[in-house]
């Protein structure tokens, strides 16, 4: 039987509450821990992500997923993007701090509902999808408690290299809007996200950090029909860290067959392939 344990954290830097949960089999024996990070416009219970949690728990992991604090969800809210002001005030530094706070909580007795006896924190792994893939790489670069990393359709750089005309208008208006095709919302991005990147570039430079600071084993997974993050991103990450393992999933798009909502009781086939290969990769790191 699987145990599903939700918990709540409050950002030490910004004070905003955000949700996380852990899924595991309560055996009283220590199990490796996987922390999963969603991507841009995503959230922890998007589509088939709860099924991923169940899969990894059945494979002998404690699987922890979180809502990044400024992803637009509200504690006790609708379960979908609704706080667009928070979404607009998000930045990469906040997201890295959120991930770090979850890791800190796992290492702090009583800070999560998962009993210490259920976790082997010497086998702490990170997995991230899309933008979350870039975030877990950056977190691994700065936190030696992370022992291995997997990126799923991960970005290879934060710098979008917008044309100067776009940057000038963004600076003038203070906000840039991007569409959410699923909900029809126009999502704001305040100019501060670019200012944060410039001010914290050594911390947020994915190519530099992967090349110089990510010493942990890395699995790079990408669908060969990804319509959102080009396949070239996976090849770039592999070039930056040649000892990384590279898995290209034939016929898979950006969400590996998933959609939101996901009414099925089984993982989409491409996501199942990703989950199986990732679980096998993490088990090999023991």
Which tens digits make up the pLDDT trace of 111-168? 999 999 999 999 999 999 999 999 999 999 999 999 999 999 999 999 988 999 999 9
- Residues 187-208 have a mean pLDDT of 97
H or E, element range at 115: none
Count helices and strands in the chain by DSSP H and E runs? 10, 10
H or E, element range at 9: strand 2-10
Instruction: Pick the closest to residue 147 from 281, 9, 5, 6 (CA basis).
Output: 281
Which tens digits make up the pLDDT trace of 20-38? 999 999 999 999 999 999 9
State the Cα–Cα distance between residues 234 and 222, nearest whole angstrom. Answer: 6
State the Cα–Cα distance between residues 37 and 185, nearest whole angstrom. Answer: 22
- Residues 195-224 have a mean pLDDT of 98
Q: Tell me the β-bridge partners of 222.
A: 248
List, in order, residues 6 or more apart from 45 with CB less than 8 Å away. 65, 79
pLDDT score of 265:
97
> Does domain 2-284 sit in CATH 3.40.50.1820?
yes
Please report, for the chain, the start and end positions of each structural domain, with discontinuous segments joined by +: 2-284
Is the pLDDT assigned to residue 286 strictly greater than 80?
no
State the Cα–Cα distance between residues 69 and 228, nearest whole angstrom. Answer: 23
Is the pLDDT assigned to residue 201 strictly greater than 90?
yes
- pTM: predicted TM-score of the whole model, two decimal places: 0.98
Which tens digits make up the pLDDT trace of 1-17? 999 999 999 999 899 99
């Amino acid at each position: 039987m699987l145990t599903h344990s939700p918990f709540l954290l409050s950002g030490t830097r910004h004070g905003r509450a955000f949700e996380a949960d852990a899924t595991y089999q309560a055996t009283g024996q220590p199990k490796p821990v996987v922390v999963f990070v969603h991507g841009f416009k995503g959230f922890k219970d998007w589509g088939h992500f709860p099924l991923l949690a169940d899969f990894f728990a059945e494979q002998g992991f404690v699987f922890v997923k979180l809502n990044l604090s400024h992803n637009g969800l509200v504690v006790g809210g609708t379960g979908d993007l609704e706080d667009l002001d928070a979404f607009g005030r998000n930045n990469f530094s906040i997201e890295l701090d959120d991930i770090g706070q979850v890791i800190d909580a796992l290492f702090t007795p009583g800070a999560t509902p998962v009993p210490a006896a259920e976790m082997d924190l010497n086998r702490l792994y990170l997995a991230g999808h899309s933008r979350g893939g870039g975030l877990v790489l950056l977190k691994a670069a700065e936190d030696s408690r992370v022992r291995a990393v997997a990126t799923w359709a991960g970005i290879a750089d934060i710098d979008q290299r917008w044309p100067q005309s776009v940057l000038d208008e963004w600076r003038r208006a203070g906000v840039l809007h991007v569409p959410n095709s699923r909900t029809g919302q126009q999502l704001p991005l305040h100019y501060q996200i670019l200012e944060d990147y410039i001010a914290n570039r050594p911390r947020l430079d994915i190519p530099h950090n992967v090349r110089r600071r990510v010493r942990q084993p890395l699995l790079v997974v990408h669908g060969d029909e990804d319509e959102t993050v080009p396949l070239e991103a996976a090849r770039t990450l592999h070039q930056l860290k040649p000892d990384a393992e590279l898995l290209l999933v034939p016929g898979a798009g950006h969400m590996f067959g998933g959609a939101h909502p996901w009414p099925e009781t089984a993982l989409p086939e491409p996501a199942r392939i990703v989950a199986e290969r990732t679980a096998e990769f993490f088990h090999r790191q023991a």
